[in-house]
Amino acid sequence: MQVRDLRRDPRAVDCVPLHRPHNRSHTGPAPPRPHGPWRSALVTLHMDAIDLLESQHRQLEKQFSALKKADAVRPEDFKAASDLLVTHITIEEQRFYPAVQAGRTEDILLESLEEHLSLKRVLADMLALASDDPQFGPKLHVLAEQLEHHHKEEEDHLFPKVKKVLDTKAREKLGADMQALADELEHRAPRKLVLDQTETAATLEPKA
Ligand SMILES: [Fe+2]
Ligand SMILES: [Fe+2]
């Protein structure tokens, strides 16, 4: 699957400027923290890692389902859904998966990482397309289908095993770590991270 160079395609949903203004940090106080439409999905009263992930699954399914039903996909809605998807994948790959790695979870974790790679490749393709491109709709349907399948796999096969590996207290501590990373990512247009992650699947090594 070929990924277009977003920096050079002015029609791309997520066109990245080649040159950033460089005087931003010298013009006054930092802008207020953005609160995207997906923010509420990341703030949860339950810090249990599994509750946090399941809540994001439902939010992702809701947002991608709305995109599929839209007569015309608004770029800002697609960006918001993409940011949530990449935030979710990132907190799983960098915090959750390494923390729950054990003999009984390893096979499904490795399979999950391959499914993430597939999601990232379709998403990276879509970020390089205009939302009215004829290829955008079919890719959106594939992405939404893959997403639902992946969530079901995690919820039916991985999470029950994780509950045997980590007790409630450990899951709550992990949930807090994952939330902290999600908060950090919120300010970095996380969807753009996939552009450098389409070659190979992530590993289960713990990340700093
Ligand atoms: Fe996942
Ligand atoms: Fe997930």
In a domain, 134, yes or no: yes
Containing domain of residue 128, as a range? Answer: 41-191
Q: Is residue 105 part of a domain?
A: yes
What pLDDT shows up at residue 27?
A: 42
- For the segment 94-147, what is each residue's pLDDT rounded down to a tens digit? 999 999 999 999 999 999 999 999 999 999 999 999 999 999 999 999 999 999
**CATH number of the CATH domain containing 61:** 1.20.120.520
What pLDDT sits at residue 40?
Answer: 47
> Which residues sit with Cβ closer than 5 angstroms to ligand 2, an ion?
53, 154
Cα–ligand 1 centroid distance for 156 (angstroms): 12
Q: Does a structural domain hold residue 89?
A: yes
Residue at 50 is within a domain:
yes
Q: How far away, in angstroms, is 45 Cα from ligand 2 center?
A: 18
Rounded to the nearest angstrom, the distance between the alpha carbon of 208 and the centre of ligand 2 is 20
| 175 found inside a domain | yes
Residue 95, classified by CB atoms within 10 Å of its CB into exposed (0-12), middle (13-18) or buried (19+), is buried
Residue 155 lies in a domain: yes
pLDDT of residue 120: 98
Q: What is the pTM of this model?
A: 0.81
Give per-residue pLDDT as tens, 45-94: 558 999 999 999 999 999 999 999 999 999 999 999 999 999 999 999 99
Compute the distance from residue 21 Cα to the ligand 2 centre, in Å: 36
User: Which ligand minimizes its atom distance to the CA of 114?
Assistant: 1
In this predicted structure, the answer to whether residue 5 has a pLDDT above a threshold of 80 is: no
Number of domains in the chain: 1
User: What average pLDDT does range 25-41 have in this prediction?
Assistant: 44
**What are the tens digits of pLDDT across the range 134-156?**
999 999 999 999 999 999 999 99
CA of 49 to the centre of ligand 2 (A): 11
